[in-house]
């Protein structure tokens, strides 16, 4: 198994890179404030806005470092940056301000940080640019504190800051993408290993159940009493019905469910050969759509089908007589299932019920139906012995014993 503890340093490394980017943006803002004040001769507001952003962002970062479990800095810094750059645009020419280049970078950075916050930043950024186009804003709010001779230098300063920030942002995105790819690869490998392990478990369970079946077969050969032999054979068939489920699970890509139509066909064919032999005159009619059931439903349902079909082959259709066994299943609108099964043999008295019978098979059928959170009734309108089972698929936490 892969050690997922290595993901913790990965996350910490990403946080450190983000912090470095925030420190760089703060330092650039302070440096731009100094250049604007001493070299470009801009008005008081331009250095004040740039320097204020740099100092406030450093305070927020320090707050984050002292409170590592809080995300205040991640959400407040982008808003502070957007507000500062918008204010800067107001005092450096409005819609013609080179500071809008920085606003674009800030919006892109915020958009990449978070889906919800990023979308909101994008909307607010576009709304801010639209507001700069309004006549009232242009006439009453917009100023240009950058002298004409210094406009080119101020534009170069804004572009240089944007290029530096874009470079840092791009590197962070690339590094973040690489880290995510590595984590995803690690998770995919872990899942593959777990699936392989689970398949191996199903394979071994199937082998162990087949071993139990073989031991029962060997045991029955040492017993002369036919009644006891039949009891052991019945137990052997029950074990095989469970082994088939595990065999189908480890052979599938989806290790949580099995194709139940295939399972029913294989189970019935096995039971006919086991009870009647290879040259059987029994006709099988299976009307089951393509459906998948989980193991917690598949095993008790398989045991129930095993009991009803075994009884049909043993007692309903005698010896080498011709006969027919039928099984059909459909899913209802309420997500429950209806299973009908039976034979056209001689049947048995309607006075014999699940409660009054001393037959282990009938008692198992009744208990397995309860385990499936369902009800089973005998259909007396048809010739032979027929049952109608209504059940639903059960989850892991709903599994109950058949005892």
CA 275 to chain centre: 44
Q: Give burial (CB, 10 Å; 0-12/13-18/19+) of 110.
A: buried
The per-residue pLDDT for 356 is 67
- pLDDT tens digits, one per residue of 348-396: 777 777 766 777 778 888 888 888 888 888 888 888 889 999 998 876 5
Residue 398 has what pLDDT?
A: 54
Q: Which of 63-72, 98-107, 350-359, 371-380 has the lowest mean pLDDT?
A: 63-72
Domain boundaries, the chain: 4-189, 223-398
Residue from 288, 381, 284, 280 nearest 326 by CA = 284
The confidence score (pLDDT) of residue 5 equals 45
Residue 302 and residue 245 in contact, taking contact as beta carbons nearer than 8 Å: yes
- Cβ(292)–Cβ(258) below 8 Å: yes
Average pLDDT on 194-220 reads 85
pLDDT at 399 over 60: no
Share of the chain above pLDDT 70, in %: 88
Which has more confidence, 106 or 8? 106
Which are the contacts of 369, defined by CB distance < 8 A and separation ≥ 6? 304, 375, 376, 389, 391
Cβ-contact 244, 283 below 8 angstroms: no
Asked if the model's pLDDT at residue 251 lies above 60, the reply is: yes
End-to-end CA distance of the chain: 38
d(CA 235, CA 79): 72
Q: Given pLDDT bands bounded at 50, 70 and 90, which one contains residue 3? A: very low
Contact 308/315 with Cβ under 8 angstroms? Answer: no
Residue 242: the pLDDT is 85
pLDDT value at position 6? 46
Q: Say how far apart CA 92 and CA 144 lie, in whole Å.
A: 4
What are the φ and ψ backbone dihedral angles of 293, each rounded to 5 degrees? -130, 145
Q: In this structure, are strands 323-331 and 282-287 parallel, antiparallel, or unpaired?
A: parallel
**Where residue 4 falls among pLDDT bands split at 50, 70, 90?**
very low
pLDDT band, very low/low/confident/very high, at 316 (cuts 50, 70, 90):
confident
pLDDT above 60 for 65: yes
CA angle in degrees (0–180, nearest 5) for 319-324-325:
100
Number of H helices, E strands in the chain: 11, 7
pLDDT digits (tens, 9 = 90+) for 123-176: 888 888 888 889 998 889 999 988 888 889 999 999 998 888 888 777 777 777
The angle at the Cα of 274, spanning 288 to 346, to the nearest 5 degrees, equals 70
Q: Is the pLDDT of residue 15 over 70?
A: no
- pLDDT confidence band for 116 (50 / 70 / 90): low
Bridge partners (DSSP) listed for residue 325 = 284, 343
Q: If you count them, how many residues does the chain have?
A: 403
Q: Give the pLDDT score at 327.
A: 92
Span 252-275, pLDDT tens digits: 777 778 888 888 888 888 888 888
- What CATH number belongs to 223-398? 3.30.565.10
Average pLDDT, the chain: 82
Residue-level pLDDT at 329: 92
Band (pLDDT 50/70/90 cuts) for residue 1 is very low
Residue 48 reports pLDDT greater than 90: yes
β-pair partners for 342: 326, 386
Tens of pLDDT, residues 74-87: 677 788 888 898 99
**Mean pLDDT across 171-190:** 79
């Amino acid at each position: 198994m892969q050690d997922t503890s290595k993901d913790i340093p990965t996350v910490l490394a990403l946080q450190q890179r983000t912090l470095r980017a925030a420190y760089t943006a703060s330092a650039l803002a302070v440096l731009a404030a100094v250049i604007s004040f001493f070299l470009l001769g801009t008005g008081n507001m331009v250095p004040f806005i740039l320097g204020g952003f740099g100092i406030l962002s450093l305070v927020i970062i320090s707050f984050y470092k002292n409170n590592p479990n809080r995300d205040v800095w991640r959400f407040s810094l982008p808003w502070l940056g957007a507000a500062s750059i918008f204010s800067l645009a107001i005092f450096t020419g409005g819609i013609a301000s080179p500071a809008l280049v920085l606003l674009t970078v800030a919006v892109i950075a915020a958009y990449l940080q978070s889906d919800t916050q990023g979308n909101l930043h994008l909307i607010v950024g576009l709304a801010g640019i639209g507001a700069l186009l309004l006549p009232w804003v242009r006439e009453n709010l917009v100023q240009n504190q950058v002298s004409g001779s210094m406009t080119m230098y101020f534009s170069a300063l804004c572009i240089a800051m944007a290029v530096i920030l874009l470079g840092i942002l791009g590197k962070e995105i690339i590094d973040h993408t690489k880290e995510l790819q590595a984590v995803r690869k690690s998770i995919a490998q872990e899942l593959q290993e777990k699936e392989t392990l689970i398949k191996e478990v199903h394979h071994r369970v199937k082998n162990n159940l087949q071993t139990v079946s073989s031991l029962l077969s060997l045991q029955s050969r040492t017993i002369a009493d036919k009644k006891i032999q039949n009891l052991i054979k019945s137990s052997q068939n029950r074990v095989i019905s469970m082994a088939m489920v595990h065999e189908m699970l480890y052979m599938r890509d989806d290790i949580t469910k099995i194709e139940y139509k295939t399972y029913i066909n294989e189970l019935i064919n096995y039971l006919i050969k086991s009870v009647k032999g290879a040259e059987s005159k029994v006709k099988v009619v299976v009307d089951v759509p393509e459906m998948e059931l989980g193991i917690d439903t598949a095993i008790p349902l398989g045991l129930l089908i095993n009991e009803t079909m075994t009884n049909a082959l043993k007692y309903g259709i005698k010896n080498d007589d011709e006969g027919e066994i039928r099984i059909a299943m459909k899913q209802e609108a309420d997500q429950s299932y209806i299973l009908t099964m039976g034979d056209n043999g001689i049947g048995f008295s309607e006075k014999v019920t699940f409660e009054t019978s001393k037959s282990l098979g009938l008692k198992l059928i009744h208990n397995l139906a309860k385990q499936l959170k369902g009800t089973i009734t005998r259909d007396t309108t048809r010739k032979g012995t027929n049952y109608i089972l209504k059940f639903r698929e059960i989850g892991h936490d709903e599994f109950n014993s058949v005892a």
